[in-house]
Amino acid sequence: MTPQMESLDSACVSMLDMFSKFDPTAVNDSILDAAKDLCAEYLGGAWSKIDNTQIVLKKLSGGLTNLVFLCELSHDATIVACEPRRILLRIQTQSDNLQLMREIAIFMNLNAHGYGPRLLAVFPGGRIEEFIPSRNLSKEEYLSDRFLPSIAGLLAKMHALEMPLPKCPQYVPLLRSWLQRCRSHGTQPIHLERTAILDEFEFPDVVTMDQLESEFDDIEKFLSEQQSPSVFCHNDVVPSNVLLRNVDEDGPDEQPVVDPKRLVLIDFEFGFYNYRGLDISNSLAECGMTYGVDKHPHYEVNLSLMEDEKLSRIFCGAYLDQLYKDHDTPEKRERHLLTGNRDEDLKMLMFESRRFLPLQHFFWGIWNIICVQELGAIQGIDFSAHAKDRFIMYYRFKSNMYKY
């Protein structure tokens, strides 16, 4: 490693070490100083003239990928030019510089196409992003006829973007690396027991790492036979990753279907080229998941909603209509396997999403095992229960791979 890279790594580790100690009940002056200095250097204006009493710092999230803070000027701080009063400060929790470069490349390209918050600054160990006055969608809104078509259309437009990333689907190489990562922490068998799943069906009592790798061999073979196009995917469209911009002073938007311009997709940490069917199936699978529940395991599962005919038809229909709008030549439509016959194309998309449904549960099952191994216990999240339920759902829907 070059001296420059060693210095960069040291700065990143130092930044993470400081901000990971954030305590909302007793904010450390050194953390406020660091946040203020970053904003002063990269934003200027009022941020360069305030003291620690004029900055408000609030932690919004934290996990394996980053820590996110809301930084806000106090009311008595006067804006000098056009600097923002509120910004998001994102501190990276990983040390993989290649992964960090990849995330920045994705973020900048999404900005250029009008997706996500604007990138305001990049610094060793993190970045500063635009704060969008908005709120996350509720689960009820996500499922509604007013929002679901707009989400689907937004996803279809995003799937048409060209990104500076490997163009082959990354599901297989990523999952292979995750399985190796899991194995490096040990090979203890996983005793499968339902926690949030109420339905009765058969599944193995225990799975081992060898069995999971064998299941993944089956998945890899299945994928080798699929024609689903490789597109840039979000891979984690859930209500909390869709923002609804605040309405203007003119009044609320009461259109039957919300204007897609009011929706903002965020958190592209899992963004990469993938099979189109996986992104669609994940978006529909999340119709059956409810998070942030007070009662353990802090999420609920409704399997029937994951294959709900009405929801699937609404989502895939809106997705298809956006494809028709954006791909108006035979060559473009051929790339997305479109015939021009709406009934046939809609059936194709709905079947494609159902075939891929078990694969997303396997994906999140492995991810939650990694969280168990590397994060341990976090208040309000039971990674172990979630991993087991995801594997159980994989077995529940495994037949979809060959049924549609």
**pLDDT score of 21:** 85
- In whole angstroms, give the CA distance from residue 197 to residue 67: 31
The ranges of the chain annotated as CATH 3.90.1200.10 are 134-403
**pLDDT score of 26:** 84
**pLDDT score of 98:** 75
pTM for this model (two decimals): 0.89
**pLDDT score of 67:** 86
**pLDDT score of 65:** 65
**pLDDT score of 116:** 85
Cα distances (Å, whole numbers) of residue 97 to 13, 18, 127, 128, 139: 12, 19, 14, 17, 35
**pLDDT score of 100:** 77
Following DSSP, what letter does each residue of 198-220 receive, concatenated? -S-----SEE-HHHHHHHHHHHH
CB atoms within 10 A of CB 224: 8
The ranges of the chain annotated as CATH 3.30.200.20 are 3-130
Architecture of domain 3-130: 2-Layer Sandwich (3.30)
For residue 263, what are the β-bridge partners? 244
Prior bond to 297 cis, omega within 30? yes
134-403 placed in CATH 1.10.3720.10 = no
Successive 10-residue mean pLDDT values, the chain, 404 residues:
56 78 86 95 96 92 75 94 94 74 88 89 91 95 98 96 95 97 92 93 96 98 97 96 81 76 92 98 98 93 98 98 91 90 97 98 96 81 95 98 93
Instruction: Please check whether residue 206 is in contact with residue 190, taking contact to mean a CB–CB distance below 8 angstroms.
Output: yes
- In whole angstroms, give the CA distance from residue 28 to residue 26: 6
